A and B are shown apart, each in its own frame.
Chain A
Amino acid sequence: MSKDVVTNIILRDDEDYIINMGPQHPSTHGVLRLEVCLNGETVKYVVPHIGYIHRGIEKMCEYDTYKQIIHLTDRMDYLSAHMNNEAVSLLVENALGIEVPERVKYIRAALNELNRIASHHLWWSAFGMDLGALTTFFYGLRDREKILDIFDESFGSRLLHSFVTPGGLMHDVHPNFRKNIMEFVKYFRKKLPEYKKLLTDNIIFQNRTKGIGVMTKETAIAFGVTGPSGRGSGFSCDVRKIAPYGIYDQLEFNEVLYTNGDSFDRYMVRMDEMVESMNLLEQIVDKMPEGTEFTAKMKPIVKLPEGEYFQRVETARGELDVFVVSDGKKHPYRMRFRSPNFSNMFTLNILGRGLKIADLVAISGSLDLVIPDIDR
């Protein structure tokens, strides 16, 4: 193994002073327990304990039809609900060889990018709050609400949409959909410089994040860290580029890469990705075909041919892979979700060692963890 890769082996000692961070600690964003070993205020090692919100989604999938599974995928990474839905939908469509209408592909891409902005923006708000800048939380939630309003108008739900299904969409989007996106992009473009002034250029924020939690590219690859967290280390892992799905191969966008691998670079990747997402949204709105088509012809109960299927999708947090073994029945024989947060979270021990507790909060914030996605 290359010497740049740090191993995860923990040497426990009877004299260790151990405290638990979580499962109720606000900065753990849910139900994650970190067993933190301290020497004074310096972290010696971190052992994550998970499973507090394990619902057995993979087992439940074995008893559900593919259209029912869509509703379970929302509950994994609830901030990337559209992408999770699309992962299963694409898998079923590819397995059956169904071509969805062009318009549906554009709407899906638009929903993905809106969802990505909403997710990154909520992360930005919470990250500021983790580091003691409470204002970001109010500003962030205010603007995220505008995206949720677009969702609300089109399909009546704000967080768990279950809108993208195998074959297309549940129903057509609201006639104002296109206009709303344009208005939102116009509004949000003006807001981003404000946020730069508020948090990115803040010297206290920069001191808290620059050089903190440095992850090398080798470590990112070895631990399977994907998404903005991996791209902050220079690991080119955007599935939209390397294994394009939907219409992403027809759209122009840049993969945002930073090379320092510290918390600040992970922050910058997400800030720049929001700009890229807005560029994508403008292209999508321009090119989206007119019409009312929202689904391909599908049977009410889908049966996949016998075999194994694999689908890669880029969510707001990294690469989500769905692996299905089908025995030709209406339920999958085995369904596996490789969730991005799972791999990202286990680098906490590598990144946090030797730093202070407050830095651990900055690191876990910069990794953008959603715990239900880890536990599934």
Chain B
Amino acid sequence: MEKNMDLTALLAKIAPQGEVVQGNQFPELTVSAEQLFETAEKLKNCKEMPFDFLLDLTAVDFETKFTVVYHLESTKTHDVVVLRTDLPDRNHAEVETVSGLWPAAEFMEREVFDLFGIRFKNHHDLRRLFMEDDYGHPLRKDFKDDINLIEYPN
């Protein structure tokens, strides 16, 4: 627990404007979409523990907003932190790409773009990954499949 306290302090130092909370597993840092790239760069180049391994990049549709979630690990200390940003505008959800920092992000961002329709600014090859170009974005909560009309019981 003490280690996590250090981590939250570190996160607060890196992003003074961000909101730091200790989640049930990892310390979590929420920043605005404009500050995301800057914060990610600082985390990647952090001297004490460089978060050089992008564990996971994904998005969640909360209906009122999209949240892009980054799980970062430091290969030196094996500590994990969660970085997240909220995108309230559903139709023009856009955030800066981090594929320049972690090349692994390139494909995870393409997946998020494919499944959620979130655009990543300055991504050099933002094409859809699984679905055809004219298909909707299936992981959005308001997605309706017109071809396979299967009603799920709730």
Contact = CB atoms under 8 A, between A and B. Distances in A.
B58 A336 contact: yes
Interface string B134-154: 000011000000000000100
A307 B24 contact: yes
26 contacts: A1-B100, A1-B101, A5-B103, A9-B124, A51-B129, A51-B130, A51-B131, A56-B138, A63-B152, A221-B52, A221-B53, A222-B102, A237-B75, A242-B78, A243-B78, A309-B25, A310-B71, A323-B56, A325-B60, A336-B56, A338-B58, A343-B107, A346-B104, A346-B106, A346-B107, A375-B130
A328 B52 CA distance: 33
A343 B104 contact: yes
A224 B104 contact: yes
B129 A50 contact: yes
Q: Which of under 10, 10 to 19, 20 to 34, or 35 or more describes the interface residues of A?
A: 35 or more
A146 interface: no
Nearest to B55: A321
A58 interface: yes
Most A CB contacts (10 A, CB to CB) among B23, B104, B124, B138 go to B104
A243 B74 CA distance: 13
- Interface size, B (range): 35 or more
A325 B139 CA distance: 13
B26 interface: yes
Contacts of B26: 310
7 closest cross-chain pairs (CB), A and B: A51-B130, A224-B104, A54-B130, A63-B152, A338-B56, A242-B78, A336-B58
Contacts of B138: 56, 59
B106 to A, nearest CB: 6
Interface in B41-76: 52-56, 58, 60-61, 69, 71, 75
B58 A323 contact: yes
A56 B138 CA distance: 8
Given A8-B106, A323-B56, A58 B139 contact: yes
A103 B142 CA distance: 44
B144 to A, nearest CB: 12
Interface of B: 23-26, 52-56, 58, 60-61, 69, 71, 75, 78, 80, 100-104, 106-108, 111, 115, 124-125, 129-131, 138-139, 152
**Which of B26, B56, B106, B131 gathers most chain A CB within 10 Å?**
B56
A290 to B, nearest CB: 34
A79 to B, nearest CB: 21
A270 to B, nearest CB: 22
Interface of A: 1, 5, 7-10, 50-51, 54, 56, 58-59, 63, 221-224, 235-237, 242-243, 307-310, 312, 319, 321, 323, 325, 333-334, 336, 338, 342-343, 346, 375
Nearest to B100: A1
B104 to A, nearest CB: 4
Contacts of A63: 152
A221 B75 contact: yes
Given A58-B139, A309-B25, A334 B61 contact: yes
A223 B104 contact: yes
Contacts of B106: 8, 346
B79 to A, nearest CB: 10
B130 A224 contact: no
Contact of A310 (B25, B54, B111, B124): B25
Nearest to A311: B25
Contacts of A323: 56, 58, 69, 71
Contacts of A375: 130
A308 B23 contact: yes
Contacts of A333: 60
Q: Which of B61, B102, B103 has the most chain A CB atoms inside 10 A of its CB?
A: B103
B74 to A, nearest CB: 10
A5 B26 CA distance: 28
Given A222-B52, A310-B25, A323-B58, A7 B130 contact: no
Contacts of A319: 55
Contacts of A307: 23-24
B60 A334 contact: yes
Contacts of A310: 25-26, 71, 80
Contacts of B130: 50-51, 54, 375
B134 to A, nearest CB: 14
Contacts of B129: 50-51
